[in-house]
Structure 1
Amino acid sequence: MTEPAKPVVGRLETVAVSGTDATETVVAKADTGADRTTIDETLLERIGSTGAIDDVTVRSGGSAESRDIVAISVDVRSVDRGPRVVLADVDDRQPYTGEVLLGSDLLDGFYVDCELQNTTVNAD
């Protein structure tokens, strides 16, 4: 039996992110080097949260910071797979591209083509 082909997602993708109160469609950046998906703290405030499930210490450069972990639903709009619930860490993503960073926890099952943006093609 042949396994279904993995869909290809681009570096930037449109996603629907759902919390307890609302769903918003935003731009997300794919990052295969990130273990976990990250959501911007202001986006999380807008869609609602059940609260922190846990926290994690993230190290970047010479500093470390503690971030809350929350459950959110993420639906990559151009892929007909439906939403996935992931445990995302919360951070101020305003200085960066995309209100959501898609980590390897969500990208498992996709091929990422960094030349593509806001588009998805099926692998052959």
Structure 2
Amino acid sequence: MTPIFTAGHPRSLEPRCRSREKNVSRPRMTRLMLYRRSYIDPGRETERVHPVVARQPAKGNRTAIGVVEEVVIRGSKGDIRVLARVDTGAARTSLDTDLALRAGLGPVFDRVRVRAAAADEPEERDVVDAKILIAGREFDVAVAVTDRKDMRDHMIVGMDVLREAGFLVDPSKGNERENHTKRAPRTP
């Protein structure tokens, strides 16, 4: 089986790259060659595809959503509408504890360790099943529940939903409510 970075390129394991970069490491060199090869011969099929790319649905089935989307959380106590931040850097969807209680989500079926970007150490979060409705589509999702009351966004839609749905995130397609909360630029 061909390694992922070489992709069947016959010269990918040479010690030097024949372009401007003369002394580069082998992994970096093979990535450079793979990158260049796609522009030289775009019709060539490789033997192996990156796992994230392989899980994406066909382009015709993709829906563009904004950075902030209205999400409906369906629980045993009813539906709750919330503006959620779509975060491609978050692996898992996360929800505030108060929203989870108001919706009647539960019981907790798992605990996960999460390392937040702002935190020094990983923290454990409860995980519950939830039904969420986003962009007219309903999903059964395992949601991490944490105290987000001091944060700007009470819900984060992570890559678990984005991958399953095949959503594309369009930053220019923001929610109007979010745009009204932005401050005007300062004038000197």
Q: For the superposition of Structure 1 and Structure 2, which TM-score range results when normalised by the shorter chain?
A: 0.7 to 0.9
Whose radius of gyration is greater, 1 or 2?
2
Report the TM-score when normalising by structure 1.
Answer: 0.84
Structure 1 residue 35: Cα displacement: 0.8
**Which ranges of structure 2 fall in alignment gaps of 5 or more residues?**
1-57, 177-188
**Poorly superposed stretches of 4+, deviation over 6 Å:** none
2:125 and 2:148 mapped to 1: Cα distance? 13
Structure 1 residue 95: Cα displacement: 2.4
From 78, 81, 85, give the equivalent of 1:29: 85
Question: Where does residue 10 of structure 1 map in the other structure?
Answer: 66
- The structure whose residues are more often helix, as a share, is 2
Which string of whole-angstrom CA distances, capped at 9 and with x for unpartnered residues, describes residues 32-56 of structure 1?
A: 1111100110000101023101000
Structure 2 CA distance for partners of 1:3 and 1:22, relative to 1, 3 Å: same
Structure 2 CA distance for partners of 1:64 and 1:72, relative to 1, 3 Å: same
Which string of whole-angstrom CA distances, capped at 9 and with x for unpartnered residues, describes residues 68-91 of structure 1?
A: 000011111xx23x3101001001
- The structure whose residues are more often strand, as a share, is 1
Question: Where does residue 19 of structure 1 map in the other structure?
Answer: 75
**Which ranges of structure 1 fall in alignment gaps of 5 or more residues?**
120-124
From 170, 173, 177, give the equivalent of 1:116: 173
Give the total of aligned pairs: 115
| Aligned residues with identical type, % of pairs | 31
1:49 and 1:38 mapped to 2: Cα distance? 13
Question: CA-atom RMSD, angstroms?
Answer: 1.7
Question: Where does residue 70 of structure 1 map in the other structure?
Answer: 128
